[in-house]
Structure 1
Amino acid sequence: MTRRIAIVGNGSVPEGLAATIDSADTVIRFNLCRSAGPGGVRTDIVAVCNTGRPALEMLAGGQWKASGSVRQAREIWCVRAPETFAALRGPLARSHPDLDDFCDDYTAGFAAFCEATGRSLKIVPAAAHRALDVSLAAFDPTLYVVPSSGLVTIAHVLESVAAAGDRVCIAGFGHEGWQWHPFAAERRWVEAHIAAGRLERLDG
Structure 2
Amino acid sequence: MARAQQIVIVGNGEIEPGLAPVIDAADLVIRFNECRSFGAGGTRTDVVAVCNTGRPPLMMLSSPEWRASQPVNDCREIWSVRDPEKFRELRPALMATHPELADFCDDYTDALAAFANDAGKTHAVIDRSVHEAVDAALVPFDPGDYVVPSSGMVVVASILAQAEEAGDAVALTGFSHEGWDGHPFAAERRLVDSYIAAGRLSRLPQTNFISPPEGA
Identity of matched residues, %: 55
Shift of 1:162: 5.2
| 1:89 maps onto 2:107 in alignment | no
Quote the Cα distance in structure 2 between the aligned partners of 1:149 and 1:5: 17
Aligned CA RMSD, in angstroms, stands at 1.0
Work out the number of aligned pairs and report it: 204
Q: Which residue of 2 aligns with 1:160?
A: 162
SS in 2 for 1:133: helix
Aligned with 2:79 (options 77, 92, 111): 77
Name the CA distance, whole Å, in 2 between partners of 1:75 and 1:115: 10
Alignment of 1:26-41 (within 5 A): 26-41=28-43
Q: Specify the alignment match of 1:22 in structure 2.
A: 24
**CA deviation digits over 1:133-161, x for unaligned, max 9?**
00111111121000000000000000135
In 1: Cα distance, 2:166 partner to 2:123 partner: 24
Which blocks of at least 5 consecutive residues in structure 2 are unaligned? 207-216
1:83-162 alignment runs, 5 A limit: 83-161=85-163
Aligned residue number for residue 211 of structure 2: none
Q: Distance in 2 between matches of 1:161 and 1:194?
A: 14
Deviation, structure 1 residue 164: 3.5
Give the one of 182, 196, 199 matched to 1:197.
199
Which aligned pairs between 1:2-17 and structure 2 lie closer than 5 A? 2-17=4-19
Cα separation, 2, equivalents of 1:66 and 1:200: 32
Measured in 1, the distance between the counterparts of 2:36 and 2:18 equals: 17
- What is residue 175 of structure 1 aligned with on the other side? 177
Q: TM-score scaled to structure 1, two decimals? A: 0.98
Task: State TM-score, norm by structure 2.
Answer: 0.92
User: Which of structure 1's runs of 4+ aligned residues deviate more than 3 A?
Assistant: 161-164
1:188 aligns with 2:190: yes
- Does the 8 A contact of 1:65 with 1:71 survive in 2? yes
Q: Matched residue of 2:7: which SS?
A: strand
Cα deviation digits, residues 6-42 of structure 1 (max 9, x gap): 0000000111100000000000000000000110000
Any conservation in 2 of the 1:162–1:168 contact (CA below 8 Å)?
A: no
Q: After superposition, give the CA deviation of every residue in 1:94-138 in whole Å (9 maximum; x if it has no partner).
A: 100000000000001111011111100110000110111001111
3-state SS of the aligned residue for 2:171? strand
Equivalent residue letter for 1:28: I
CA-to-aligned-CA distance 1:29-87 (integer Å, 9 cap, x gap)? 00000000110000000000000000100101211110000000000000000011101
Q: For 2:163 and 2:114, locate their aligned partners in 1 and report how far apart those are by CA, in whole Å.
A: 24
* 1:202, distance to aligned residue in structure 2 (A): 0.3
